[in-house]
Amino acid sequence: MTRRADVVIAGSGFGGAIAARRLADAYARAGEDPARIVVLERGEGFAVDSFEQSMHIDHLSRVYRLIQGQGMQVVTATGLGGGSNLYLAASLRAPREVFERRDRRPDDGPDRRMWPKAISRATLDPYYARAERALRVRRPSWDQVSRSGGVWAALCDAAGHTCDRVPLAIDLDRCVDAKWCHTGCAFGAKNSLLTNHLAIARRRGVTVEPLREVQSVRQSSARPYRYVVTAAVVDAATGRPTGGLEELECKVLVLATGAMNDAPILLRSRAALPSLSEHVGRHLGSNGDHLAAVELDPGRVRDVLGLPGYAEFHEGKPITTMTYDFWAGRRRDGTRFTLQEIFLSPLTGILYDDGRGPPGDPSWWGLQKKRSLARWSHRIELLAMVEDTHDGTFLPVPAPHGGAVRPNGGPVEIGTFTYELSDQSRAVRAAADAAMRAIAERSGVGRFLPMTETEGVYCAHPLGGCRMADSPDLGVTADDGEVFGYEGLYCSGSSVVPTSLGVNPSLTIAAVAERIASGLVRRGADLGLPLK
């Protein structure tokens, strides 16, 4: 039997949780029951104490999805709270230039501003401020900067570059500097959605249903209901659909399942939604993620940088410093990037070059590699976030369910997309490598270790696939998140972002979601919601 709801929200990450909370607030003000707002989440219903400081594959498989596509490997989150459970809490407003970008792939339409006209840094700033308040973002003091962050700041300074502290969505008083944000904060110090938007929405009475994976959408003929959502019941033990299906009929549908899932849902629904833009599934991006590492010489760190005893880089917060010197003052689009110190698991050490020459020789086995791995505690990692073009495209025939195909019981899924870097995307990554190498190897302080084990892009910040634009000839949704041609059908979250951002994307995704949620509340009565 088909159930009915006022609003169905697919996904509980930033896009879904913010929509749920803001709608619940509006329902409460109107004296209406927020239980008619239903959040569907494909993963488990986590609580703060669900997380473990462990790299055990069983725990990682509960909280992560590893998607291997053609040309890009994507790490994304699963579970109630979405990516907020695993993000490293770096919370930065995107630079003004991001929203004015005009560069694009050669086959991506006419010369134009890539963001909708209604969105700029100035118009988004009030929503950034709202997101910062909700996530309790604070900039750490210099004495709260991690050792790895301090070394990166000192390296930048020695090379003549500025470096500053990264604002964090972390309660700095509660943080124990365990540096395990990437498997979920078990201490309640990181301000994930479980501690704010979702908690408030549930307290208001919003219905939250984990282990429900939205498969497809079709139009309803029973006005004022507009859409029927088909969701699969997911087995908690295996993470796979059980075969059972449920249907919900709703007046408003918000797709907030992220860049790796919103487009596949719409592609599976194209026959029932024939007016969808041809841009659905195109312009998948990586936020310009580009990783590298620096293996430091402790003696040179002491003698050149004046920092004795700085070897225990695994202690502290996972992100604390970055430089904008390769962004600020550069006017040409597609050439800018930021460089950020970041901590990842020591397991990622297998992916880096070991620094041997000549370049191009195998570097992931042998004695040199063993020696490199043995020095992991003297290594800091760097994340360049470059201005690339969104180079991915989902296949016309998506996975039969979810956003990828899971061929066996292991954690790796096969992505139904291709990712072919444009010349611009390659060039800006090469420029970032050159900048990191110059800073790292100055005065022999460290060895630059590029990521060479696999061709393509490693990505933890997928964007796009349902990008917003000023018309359906250029994108999938309008600037308010509503899908062109389909009243009451919205995308909210990472899938609508049309360009890479130059910074960690969570705060911008949250700000865009706040803007979309505000517009939805204002239009609520026109869409048949019990709002005044």
Quote the CA–CA distance of 345 and 179 in Å, as a whole number: 10
Quote the CA–CA distance of 294 and 137 in Å, as a whole number: 29
- The gap between the terminal CA atoms of the chain, to the nearest Å, is 31
| Residue stretches of the chain with pLDDT short of 50 | none
Which two structure tokens, joined as six digits, stand for 490?
Answer: 């919205």
- Is-same-fold flag (1-89+92-136+181-283+398-417+456-532; 140-168+289-387+422-455)? no
DSSP secondary structure letters along 463-500: EESS-B-SSTTT-SB-TTSBBTT-TTEEE-SGGG--S-
Cα dihedral sign, 176-181-185-186: negative
The pLDDT of residue 454 is 64
Q: Is 169 exposed, middle or buried (0-12, 13-18, 19+ CB in 10 A)?
A: buried
The pLDDT of residue 53 is 86
Quote the CA–CA distance of 532 and 523 in Å, as a whole number: 9
Domain 1-89+92-136+181-283+398-417+456-532 belongs in CATH node 3.50.50.60: yes
The CATH code that applies to domain 140-168+289-387+422-455 is: 3.30.410
Quote the CA–CA distance of 222 and 162 in Å, as a whole number: 60
The pLDDT of residue 361 is 65
The pLDDT of residue 362 is 61
The pLDDT of residue 233 is 96
Quote the CA–CA distance of 462 and 415 in Å, as a whole number: 12
Q: Domain boundaries in the chain?
A: 1-89+92-136+181-283+398-417+456-532, 140-168+289-387+422-455
Quote the CA–CA distance of 52 and 40 in Å, as a whole number: 24
The pLDDT of residue 398 is 92
DSSP secondary structure letters along 112-139: --SS-TT--HHHHHHHHHHHHHHHT-BP
The pLDDT of residue 360 is 62
Quote the CA–CA distance of 3 and 250 in Å, as a whole number: 9
Q: What is the pTM of this model?
A: 0.97
The pLDDT of residue 268 is 97
The pLDDT of residue 243 is 83
